[in-house]
């Protein structure tokens, strides 16, 4: 009797396991079929969409923006299918997808299709409004004393002129873009919030972070920690900046310094207060050649990307810089507006860092996983390379200055890099906190909110009596919403990777002056550990596999604060 009972139990267990296995296989097939059908539509549409956006950014023509908008709407419609979302939810809730690669695809697809819960008309309206705003930014030109200026022209005047009255005139004229787009942005912010609430979120900021695999509370805690870490050090360098500019402009005291005196539109970049003119090392150089030579030397050639890119100013062209992956299969391009100076050298190294990442993602991965592990991980790569534009060893190894010149500027260059990081970290605080509060309450006095944050985090005085939408002059707020915090997270990871590479790949104890130039083993490490995995793993899992630790702020503090 006992043996029969055992036998019966064994049979029942075997049948149960067989049944579960059958269900798992059926569910696996359902998901595999779903992905195959989805890819058959997504892959060609993705390429059409990115190409249209590329053409619009270069030409600035209304018809090209219209075409870009049409494809963006088609892309939006692809993910607005409620039946497909329901199917993905069924598969996800079942818990029967045990294959790690399939499960990762399921997670990415589910978060993408979650937008199907929103009203399609609202999603379409978001795309159309965004296109109109982007076109206004692209076509706007600052006009002073009857002369139209590009953003490059504006930055050049703010960076080099000692005529504070003229600086003010140029700064205020450039800020007029704010009044052109502010009402449109407010309307778009409110619509984005409506969409977020349709999906069960408090607001668009919370939704954006959550759907991009970030915990809003953790990000907030990290920014609070970074505020505490950098506040004292920034206050000290800000005093140095102010003292320098009082003498530079021949002012009576620090209270006379105004936002247009800090050498760029937003005080997001370090002003030139130290006795080193980095621009002079680049004024007679070909930035394309320097960039290509450096990346080839570390085993990440970019000649094919350079050939397909658009790197110089044109009428109507987007005045900023970005990298785009056209097809997730090797066609990667960069848009820049090069001038032979240190800022654009930084930008070229930065954007082609993005490009090297995109180019070297494993194309045997499923299509939807051929992206960086997270948007801030590609920022980290871009930033670790962008920093070299002010690195004296890099200037020797790549640009060609001699050893004596390198030693002459070494400490000043490091002080410049540290200043750049501290200035940027405080600017990123303004952007992150402004967007967070704007989406919480878009009806508040945003003009006041902006300057309250600027005064608190950048310690920069607001112009007396000014009540203009200066927040709207920053294009990212409109066209790249809730993204800016990733730049600072990228800086943290850049420092973490830098220390790991110096210690474990280069095997050096000199953490201050490394150029990476001519070391293909660095490119091999980045390709193997960072680039090729794409988004196969959750971003912190990838970071831990690559560096032995999850993301931490300690290396950023070690490099620039302590």
Q: What is the pLDDT along the chain (562 residues), one digit of tens a residue?
A: 445 555 555 545 444 445 567 888 888 999 999 999 999 999 999 999 999 999 999 999 999 999 999 999 899 899 989 999 999 999 999 999 999 999 999 999 999 998 888 888 998 899 899 989 998 988 889 999 999 998 889 999 999 999 999 999 999 999 999 999 999 999 999 999 999 999 999 999 999 999 988 999 989 998 998 999 999 999 999 999 999 999 999 999 999 999 999 999 999 989 989 988 899 999 999 999 999 999 999 999 999 999 999 999 999 898 889 999 999 999 999 999 999 999 999 999 999 999 999 999 999 999 999 999 999 999 999 999 999 999 999 999 999 999 999 999 999 999 989 999 999 999 999 999 999 999 999 999 999 999 999 999 999 999 999 999 999 999 999 999 999 999 999 999 999 999 999 999 999 988 888 999 999 999 999 999 999 999 999 999 999 999 999 999 889 989 998 7
Provide CB contacts within 8 A for 453, sequence distance 6+: 429, 430, 433, 434
Q: Using alpha carbons, list the distances in angstroms from residue 492 to 376, 380, 560.
A: 10, 8, 11
Neighbours of 434 (CB within 10 A): 21
Q: What is the 3-state secondary structure (H, E, C) of 114-150?
A: HHHHCCHHHHHHHHHHHHHHHHHHHHCCEEECCEEEC
Residues β-bridged to residue 322: 335
Cα-flanking dihedrals φ and ψ of residue 333, to 5°? Answer: -135, 155
Beta strands in 240-372 (DSSP E): 322-325, 332-335
pTM: 0.84
Q: What is the dihedral of CA 260, 266, 267, 270, to 10 degrees?
A: -110
Q: What is the CA 170 to chain-centroid distance, rounded?
A: 28
- Can you give the pLDDT at residue 3? 56
Q: Indicate the domain borders of the chain.
A: 24-117, 279-412+486-560
Cα 135 from Cα 62, distance rounded (Å): 8
**Residue 151 near residue 264, CB atoms below 8 Å:** no
Beta carbons of 198 and 122 less than 8 angstroms apart:
yes
* Residue among 391, 380, 386, 385 nearest 491 (CA): 380
CB 114 within 8 A of CB 183: no
Angle at CA of residue 40, ends 37 and 43, nearest 5°: 135
What was the pLDDT predicted at 9? 52
139's tokens:
């076509």
Contact 337, 312 (CB under 8 A): yes
d(CA 204, CA 437): 11
Q: At what angle do helices 375-386 and 485-500 cross, to 10 degrees?
A: 60
For 279-412+486-560, the fitting CATH number among 2.40.50.140, 1.10.1370.30, 3.40.190.10, 3.40.50.300 is 1.10.1370.30
The pLDDT assigned to 39 comes to 97
Rounded to whole angstroms, what are the CA distances from 47 to 39, 77, 325?
A: 12, 16, 9
Alpha-carbon Rg for the chain, nearest whole angstrom, is 26
Per-residue pLDDT at 16? 47
Q: How many CB atoms lie within 10 A of CB 284?
A: 7
Q: What is the pLDDT of residue 449?
A: 98
The dihedral region occupied by 400, where left means phi > 0, alpha psi between -120 and 50, and beta the remainder, is: left
Strand 147-149 versus strand 142-144 pairing type:
antiparallel
What's the pLDDT at 61? Answer: 93
């Amino acid at each position: 009797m006992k043996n029969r009972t055992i036998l019966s139990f064994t049979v029942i267990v075997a049948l149960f396991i067989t049944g579960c296995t059958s269900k798992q296989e059926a569910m696996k097939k359902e998901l595999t079929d779903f992905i195959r059908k989805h890819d058959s539509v997504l892959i060609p549409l993705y390429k059409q969409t990115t190409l249209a956006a590329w053409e619009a950014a270069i030409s600035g023509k209304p018809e090209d923006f219209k075409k870009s908008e049409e494809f963006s709407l088609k892309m939006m419609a692809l993910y607005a299918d409620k039946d497909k979302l329901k199917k993905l939810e069924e598969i996800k809730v079942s818990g029967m997808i045990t294959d790690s690669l399939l499960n990762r695809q399921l997670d990415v697809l589910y978060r993408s299709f979650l937008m199907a819960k929103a009203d399609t008309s609202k999603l379409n309206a978001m795309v159309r409004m965004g296109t109109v705003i982007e076109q206004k930014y692209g076509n706007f030109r600052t006009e002073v004393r009857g002369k139209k200026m590009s953003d490059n022209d504006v930055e050049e005047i703010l960076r080099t002129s000692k005529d504070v009255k003229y600086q003010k005139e140029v700064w205020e004229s450039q800020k007029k873009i704010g009044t052109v787009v502010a009402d449109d942005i407010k309307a778009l912010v409110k619509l984005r919030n409506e969409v977020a609430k349709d999906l069960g979120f408090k607001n668009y900021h919370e939704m954006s972070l959550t759907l991009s695999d970030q915990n809003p509370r953790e990000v907030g805690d990290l920014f609070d920690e970074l505020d505490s870490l950098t506040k004292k050090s920034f206050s000290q360098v800000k005093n140095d900046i102010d003292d320098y500019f009082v003498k530079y402009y021949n002012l009576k005291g620090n209270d006379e310094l105004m936002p247009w005196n800090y050498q760029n539109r937003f005080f997001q970049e370090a002003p030139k207060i130290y006795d080193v003119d980095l621009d002079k090392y680049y004024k007679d150089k070909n930035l394309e050649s320097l960039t290509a030579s450096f990346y080839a030397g570390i085993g990440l050639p970019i000649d094919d990307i350079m050939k397909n890119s658009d790197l110089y100013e044109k009428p109507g062209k987007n005045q900023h810089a970005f990298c785009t992956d056209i097809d997730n299969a090797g066609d990667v391009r960069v848009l820049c507006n090069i001038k032979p100076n240190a800022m654009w050298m930084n930008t070229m190294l930065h954007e082609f860092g993005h490009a090297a990442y995109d180019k070297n993602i494993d194309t045997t991965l499923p299509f939807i996983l051929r992206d960086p592990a997270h948007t801030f991980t590609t920022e980290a790569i871009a930033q670790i390379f962008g920093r070299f534009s002010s690195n004296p060893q890099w200037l020797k190894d790549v640009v060609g200055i001699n050893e004596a010149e390198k030693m002459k500027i070494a400490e000043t260059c490091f002080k410049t890099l540290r200043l750049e990081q501290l200035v940027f970290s405080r600017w990123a605080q303004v952007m992150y906190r402004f967007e967070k509060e704007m989406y919480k309450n878009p009806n508040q006095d945003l003009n006041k909110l902006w300057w309250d944050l600027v005064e608190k985090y950048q310690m920069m005085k607001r112009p007396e009596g000014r009540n203009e939408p200066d927040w709207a002059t920053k294009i990212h707020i409109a066209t790249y919403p809730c993204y800016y915090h990733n730049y600072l997270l990228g800086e943290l990871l850049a420092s973490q990777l830098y220390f790991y590479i110096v210690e474990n790949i280069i095997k050096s104890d000199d953490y201050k002056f490394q150029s990476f130039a001519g070391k293909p083993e660095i490119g091999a490490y980045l390709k193997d550990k960072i680039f090729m995995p794409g988004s196969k793993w959750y971003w912190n899992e990838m970071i831990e596999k690559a560096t032995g630790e999850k993301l931490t702020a300690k290396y950023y503090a070690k490099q620039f604060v302590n």
